[in-house]
């Protein structure tokens, strides 16, 4: 007597309610029904030693026999092998069913992080929480696969984000795909900050944000925009934050926004910077220097080459353009009447980046090899006088 035709490796009709895709997070025992045939003995085994078959041997009765499996953790999986051997009659038959129990990913248990990554060709690691074995990852266009562990994938990102997916085994046929939008950090191309002085409020700036800041041009730039202002004071050659407002959410960038502060710092020892970020602070435009100010005094509109100082010409230094990408022009005006001046460009840690001596009223510094960032130009004049001016290098 041979085993009935429905017991074979290509058919599932011998099984009822087999848990091919068990949701992640399910623990303890699960069961299914084996449709038995009279005269056939069945043995059931698991490839995962942690998962026990409660009824490893079943004699065929022609009925459905329950088969229980215990030992499931939140993420483990196994392969179940069922072997049926005919014991009656003059013929001897043997057939086998091999079925996998994969884990179906669920949003409450399986989360892809982080959701904001830097552009990288050196590998960025994404993690899937509570990951079972056999996870297959899907990447956005332009991203490349580097390596994979049990619960992580290392990728090289492109310059734009997209959807990252994860699925375990064949459970994508049962709604077990986890999809997470992952954004790539970087400047919002073309985002500009036309900033003018609000003369009606002491120490305030008014800004109209335009371009892609207001109208995102690609899926990577979606979401609300936040604006953030920062007031800094030059202390011993280092820019020190004095005030920072809480980002303003859901800001309509077709309108203007005003940020006012009550801190009094004499120009040119103060500067105001601004940045715009999206709704999860992922995409961001770096802080942009928009000018210094004089508290409740004559205040020129901030902009390139204008330090906002009301000091007399003999105690003032002008730099332009500011921000600068190649050649920084320096106008010392009447400061050289008593001899040459020493020009020193200092970084944020007061370290010397460049230094030179000049006896000319107009000089230049080549900053093409200077990294993007905020700096201080220190001008040491004859007689011990020292003037400073903030400089932003932007390539």
* CATH code for the domain of 56: 2.60.40.10
Residues in the chain with pLDDT < 50?
Answer: 1-12, 90, 92, 197-203, 215-222, 249-250, 252-255, 292-315
Q: Are strands 178-184 and 116-117 parallel, antiparallel or unpaired?
A: parallel
Residue 158 lies in a domain: yes
Residue 2 lies in a domain: no
Contact 367, 324 (CB under 8 A): yes
175 and 205 within one domain: no
287 and 200 within one domain: yes
Q: What whole-number distance in Å separates Cα of residue 197 and Cα of residue 298?
A: 11
Contact 84, 67 (CB under 8 A): no
For 250, the token pair is: 């859901």
Hey, how many other C-beta atoms are within 10 angstroms of the C-beta on 140? 19
pLDDT, position 310? 34
Helix (H, G, I), strand (E, B) or coil at 315: helix
pLDDT, position 145? 94
Hey, how many other C-beta atoms are within 10 angstroms of the C-beta on 96? 14
Contact 182, 118 (CB under 8 A): no
Residue 307 lies in a domain: no
Q: What whole-number distance in Å separates Cα of residue 92 and Cα of residue 101?
A: 30
pLDDT, position 290? 54
CATH of the domain at 213: 2.60.40
For 66, the token pair is: 């329950």
Domains in the chain, number = 4
pLDDT, position 94? 78
pLDDT, position 304? 32
Residue 151 lies in a domain: yes
Indicate the Cα dihedral angle 31, 37, 42, 45, nearest 10°. -30
Element (H, E) at 27: none
How far does CA 56 lie from the centroid of its chain?
A: 49
Q: What whole-number distance in Å separates Cα of residue 299 and Cα of residue 34?
A: 86
Question: Residue 323: is the preceding peptide bond cis (ω within 30°)?
Answer: yes
CATH of the domain at 327: 2.60.40.3080
Residue that finishes a domain, picked among 73, 103, 133: 103
Q: What whole-number distance in Å separates Cα of residue 246 and Cα of residue 293?
A: 21
pLDDT, position 147? 94
Q: What whole-number distance in Å separates Cα of residue 248 and Cα of residue 374?
A: 24
278 and 317 within one domain: no
Contact 244, 230 (CB under 8 A): yes
Q: Is residue 40 packed enough to be buried (19+ CB in 10 Å), middle (13-18) or exposed (0-12)?
A: buried
120 and 99 within one domain: no
Residue 313 DSSP label: G
Residue 166 lies in a domain: yes
- For the entire predicted model, the pTM comes to 0.54
238 and 326 within one domain: no
Residue 337 lies in a domain: yes
Residue 330 lies in a domain: yes
**What domain range is 33 assigned to?**
15-103
Residue 9 lies in a domain: no
């Amino acid at each position: 007597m041979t085993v009935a035709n429905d017991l074979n490796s290509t058919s599932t009709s011998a099984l009822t309610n087999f848990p091919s895709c068990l949701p992640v997070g399910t623990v303890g025992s699960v069961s299914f029904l084996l449709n038995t045939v009279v005269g056939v003995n069945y043995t059931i085994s698991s490839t995962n030693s942690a998962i026990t078959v409660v009824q490893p041997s079943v004699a065929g009765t022609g009925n459905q026999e329950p088969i229980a499996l215990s030992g499931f953790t939140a993420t483990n999986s196994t392969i179940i092998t069922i072997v049926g051997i005919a014991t009656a009659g003059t013929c001897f038959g043997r057939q086998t069913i091999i079925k996998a129990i994969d884990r179906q990913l669920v949003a409450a248990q399986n989360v892809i992080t982080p959701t904001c990554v830097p552009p990288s060709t050196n590998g960025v690691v994404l993690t899937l929480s509570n990951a079972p074995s056999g996870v297959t990852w899907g990447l956005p266009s332009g991203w490349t696969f580097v390596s994979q562990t049990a619960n992580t994938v290392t990728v090289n990102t492109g310059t734009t984000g997209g959807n990252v997916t994860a699925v375990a085994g064949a459970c994508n046929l049962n709604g077990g795909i986890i999809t997470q939008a992952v954004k790539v950090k970087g400047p919002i191309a073309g985002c500009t900050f036309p900033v003018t002085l609000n003369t009606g409020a002491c120490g305030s700036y008014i800004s109209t944000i335009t371009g892609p800041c207001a109208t995102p041009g690609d899926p990577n730039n979606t979401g609300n925009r936040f604006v953030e202002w920062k007031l800094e004071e030059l202390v011993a050659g280092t820019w020190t934050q004095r005030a920072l407002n809480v980002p303003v959410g859901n800001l309509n960038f077709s309108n203007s926004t005003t940020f006012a502060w009550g801190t009094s710092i004499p120009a040119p020892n103060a500067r105001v910077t601004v940045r715009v970020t999206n709704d999860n602070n992922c995409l961001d435009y770096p802080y942009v220097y928009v000018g210094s100010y004089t508290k409740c005094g004559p205040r020129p509109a901030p902009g390139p080459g204008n330090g906002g100082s009301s000091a007399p010409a003999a105690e003032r230094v002008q730099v332009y353009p500011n921000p600068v990408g190649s050649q920084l022009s320096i106008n010392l005006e009447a400061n050289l009447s008593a001899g040459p001046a020493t020009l020193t460009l200092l970084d944020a840690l007061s370290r010397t980046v460049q230094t030179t001596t000049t006896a000319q009223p107009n000089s230049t510094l080549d900053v093409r090899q200077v990294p993007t960032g905020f700096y201080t130009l220190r001008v040491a004049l004859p007689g011990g006088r020292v003037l400073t001016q903030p400089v932003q290098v932007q390539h």
